[in-house]
Amino acid sequence: MSEEPSRALPTEAERESFRERGWLWLPDALEAEELSRFQEACQRVLGRPHLSHEPGAGSLHAILESVWIEWRETRFHAWALAAAEALMGRPLDYWYHQLLFKAPLEGPPTHWHQDDAYLGVEEDLTISCWLAVQDVGPDAACMEFLSGGQRAGLLAELAPEGEPGGTPPEPPGLLPEQVHAQPLRAGSVTFHHGKTPHRTGPNLSPAWRLAFIQRFALRGVPRPGPEACRASSQAPSAAGG
Ligand SMILES: O=C(O)CCC(=O)C(=O)O
């Protein structure tokens, strides 16, 4: 059974900011004890022999259940769903999650993309919660958002085509003042709307970039299967996904 939410839900001002910009930063979404459990679980993923990093592998995509089956009983998960519902103003279902890790010094950039573009729907379908499992500074592949970009709907220029790596790295019409990079300290999150263009740079730091992402989808809307999930999680990167 799920726990009670771990943190206050977004305020009206925060919800308004999300509607305007298509993303929102919220510090300290987890209590210290739960953050430690997420950090330990991520270290267990990194320590698994078949997942251990090979030079040149660049990034690692994994699921938390492989090391921590009960993670959905955390207060953080309950909070993330409730906060996502408050931001979208609609009932949502938890859809799936990912650990997206980028290797020290070489983890490749992830180019500009819109998550909903991988799902083949025009409707505003999804919202994601991106947790920094450890501090994620500007040199460690923090999230960058094109503020307000969600209001333009799906951008033809960012339509996924062919193999990962085929998408241009910059959306046309990009204005530098619209781009916002959001470094996070451990335990803080950003939420982004499924149509908000976003990217991450390369991980140039000496540590793994550890991010835990939960995706939520509008209740009652048919959700695409695992192939679409995989595509959106491996948005084009300089290393080919
Ligand atoms: O964590 C990353 O590097 C990219 C994450 C992303 O694109 C997403 O969560 O939609």
Q: Whose CA is nearest to atom 1 of ligand 1?
A: 100
CA of 44 to the centre of ligand 1 (A): 21
Q: What is the 3-state secondary structure (H, E, C) of the chain?
A: CCCCCCCCCCCHHHHHHHHHHCEEEECCCCCHHHHHHHHHHHHHHHHCHHHCCCCCCCEEEECHHHCCCCHHHCHHHHHHHHHHHHHHCCCEEEEEEEEEEECCCCECCEEEECHHHHCCCCCCCEEEEEEECCCECCCECCEEEECCHHHHCCCHHHCCCCCCCCCCCCCCCCCHHHEEEECECCCCEEEEECCCCEEECCECCCCCEEEEEEEEEECCCCCCCHHHHHHHHCCCECCCC
pLDDT tens-place string over residues 173-196: 677 778 999 999 999 999 999 999
The answer, yes or no, to whether residue 167 has pLDDT greater than 60, is no
Q: Tell me the fold of 12-233.
A: Jelly Rolls (2.60.120)
State whether the beta carbon of 213 lies less than 6 angstroms from ligand 1. Answer: yes
CA of 235 to the centre of ligand 1 (A): 8
The answer, yes or no, to whether residue 1 has pLDDT greater than 80, is no
pTM score: 0.89
Q: Choose which residue among 100, 145, 150 to substitute to test ligand 1 binding: the one with the highest number of ligand atoms within 8 A of its C-beta.
A: 100
The mean predicted confidence, pLDDT, of the chain is: 85
Q: Where are the domains of the chain?
A: 12-233
CA of 29 to the centre of ligand 1 (A): 18
Mean pLDDT over residues 214-233, rounded? 72
